Amino acid sequence: MTPADPLTPERILEATEDVLRRYGPAKATVVDVARALGVSHGSVYRHFRTKAALREAVTARWLTRTEVTLTEIISASTEPAPSKLRHWLATLFESKRHKAGDDPELFATYIVLTGESTVVEEHVRELVGQLREIIEEGVRSGQFAVDDAAVAAQAVFDATARFHDPAYAAEWQNPAIGAEFTAVSDLLLRGLRA
Amino acid sequence: MTPADPLTPERILEATEDVLRRYGPAKATVVDVARALGVSHGSVYRHFRTKAALREAVTARWLTRTEVTLTEIISASTEPAPSKLRHWLATLFESKRHKAGDDPELFATYIVLTGESTVVEEHVRELVGQLREIIEEGVRSGQFAVDDAAVAAQAVFDATARFHDPAYAAEWQNPAIGAEFTAVSDLLLRGLRA
Asked whether residue B3 is assigned to any structural domain, the reply reads no
Torsion (CA) A32, A38, A41, A45 in degrees, nearest 10: -110
Number of separate domains in chain B? 2
Domain membership of residue A23 as a residue range: 9-47
Same domain, A63 and A26: no
Instruction: Check residue A76 and give its pLDDT.
Output: 79
| CB-CB neighbours of B148 under 10 Å | 12
Asked whether residue A3 is assigned to any structural domain, the reply reads no
Same domain, A43 and A70: no
Same domain, A28 and A82: no
Confidence of residue B2 (pLDDT cuts 50, 70, 90): low
Same domain, B35 and B66: no
Q: What is the pLDDT of chain B when averaged over all its residues?
A: 92
Q: Could you tell me if A144 and A138 are in contact, meaning their C-beta atoms sit under 8 angstroms apart?
A: yes
Does B142 lie at the interface with A, CB-CB under 8 angstroms? no
Does B152 lie at the interface with A, CB-CB under 8 angstroms? yes
Does residue A1 carry a pLDDT above 60? no
Per-residue pLDDT tens digits for B96-155? 999 898 888 888 888 888 887 788 999 999 999 999 999 999 999 999 999 999 999 999
Among A151, A180, A191, select the one facing B191 at the smallest CB separation: A191
Confidence of residue A88 (pLDDT cuts 50, 70, 90): very high
Same domain, B163 and B69: yes
Does residue B4 carry a pLDDT above 70? no
Instruction: Check residue A2 and give its pLDDT.
Output: 55
Same domain, B66 and B142: yes
Instruction: Check residue A118 and give its pLDDT.
Output: 84
Same domain, B37 and B93: no
Same domain, B169 and B83: yes
Instruction: Give Cα separations from A10 to A19, A25, A47 (angstroms).
Output: 14, 19, 10
Rounded to 5 degrees, φ, ψ at A13 are -65, -40
Does residue B3 carry a pLDDT above 60? no
Q: What is the CATH number of the domain that holds A40?
A: 1.10.10.60
Instruction: Check residue A4 and give its pLDDT.
Output: 59
CB spacing of B156 vs A187 below 8 angstroms: yes
Q: What is the CATH number of the domain that holds A116?
A: 1.10.357.10
**In chain A, what is the straight-line distance between the N-terminal and C-terminal CA atoms, in Å?**
54
Q: Which amino acid is at B159?
A: A
What are A112-120's contacts with CB under 8 Å, separation 24+? Answer: A112/A25, A112/A26, A113/A20, A113/A25, A113/A55, A113/A56, A113/A58, A113/A59, A114/A59, A114/A63, A114/A166, A116/A52, A116/A55, A116/A56, A116/A59, A117/A52, A117/A55, A117/A56, A117/A59, A119/A56, A119/A59, A119/A60, A119/A63, A120/A63
Per-residue pLDDT tens digits for B68-97? 999 999 987 789 999 999 999 999 999 999
Find the residue in A nearest to B148 (Cα). Answer: A183
How large is the ipTM? 0.88
Same domain, A75 and A145: yes
CB spacing of A189 vs B189 below 8 angstroms: no
A121, A124, A187: best mutation site toward chain B, by most B Cβ within 10 Å?
A187
